[in-house]
Amino acid sequence: MKRIPGLRMVLLAGFFSPAVLSAQSFWLSQPGKAHVTLEYLRPDFKADHDGLRAFAAFL
Amino acid sequence: MAEIPYSYCRCSYSYDFGYGSYSVEETEKTAGNPYVGLEMGGKEERIYTELGVRLPLTPYEKWNANLLGCLIDFTRADAFVSDWLPVSAMLNLRENARSGLAYRLRAGPVLLFYTGENNYNDQFEWWLNYSAQIGFETDRFLIRASIAGRLNASMEGAAMGERTMHHLGISAALHLGGLWPGVYAVRALDADMQEFIRSVVGLNLSVELD
């Protein structure tokens, strides 16, 4: 099976991060206040699969 | 403090042979490395520190979901590295003026200890995370802008541009009773990062416990 260069892989995804008593979530936290935070993040994510794997080596 | 990360990834592969094409769709989901840590510093103190560790529980086999988790928020990429034990220590400096103007600076290392069985793998790596945030905060709402970056300190010999990643972020939230519903958007600043994730948008909801 031959791949044609320039084929695109599209990743659609979400990322849930509920945080208990979180001040770890820097952008959301209220200093000194205990709270529970639920986050949902969704990327605008388009990548060639091979390119993505190559880039992952730098992470 | 604790954090439970979770990643869900749906991948669509499209193949075009000229005389026809087909596509394959895969889904992958995994819990990441949960964070447990301590935050040290009083409510009114300008300087506070965070010490924490992530339990290395995310499975190596969940490759796509883990990679997505790393890319979508590289400042918390250690939540989705498999076979590594991340230990972090962050120093925070914050100032909240009576006018509502507020800023924070945050920086510190993330130490990664290899827990896998590959003897040829590096046994230790470390990153330096850093960020700056400015905003306007009242009892009713907050709006913030930020820049965050990460230096891969273990990539010796690589150019500085290859060792670092940066993004710009904005966030806003309203105070409704004991709830803080908010929105969040991030724009990647590095050209190589923009090839994969140009931007990230998010929703969040905080519930005050005290």
pLDDT digits (tens, 9 = 90+) for A21-49: 233 344 444 555 666 777 788 887 665 55
Contact A48/B105 with Cβ under 8 angstroms? no
Mean pLDDT in residue range B105-118: 93
Q: Given this model, what pLDDT does residue B38 score? A: 80
Contact B33/B78 with Cβ under 8 angstroms? yes
Residues 20-49 of A with CB under 8 A from B: 20-28, 30-47, 49
- Give me the half-sphere count of Cα atoms (radius 13 Å) on the Cβ side of residue B188: 20
Q: Which two tokens stand for residue B149?
A: 């970056």
pLDDT at B117 over 50: yes
Instruction: Find the Cα–Cα–Cα–Cα dihedral B134, B94, B50, B70, rounded to 10°.
Output: 10
Residues from chain A contacting residue B6 (CB–CB below 8 Å): 15-17
B7-48 tens-digit pLDDT: 888 766 666 677 777 777 778 888 889 888 887 776 677 888
**CB count, 10 Å around CB of B103?**
15
B129-185 tens-digit pLDDT: 999 999 998 889 989 999 999 999 988 888 888 899 999 999 898 989 888 888 889
Query: What rounded mean pLDDT belongs to chain B?
Result: 86
B16 and chain A: CB distance < 8 Å anywhere?
yes
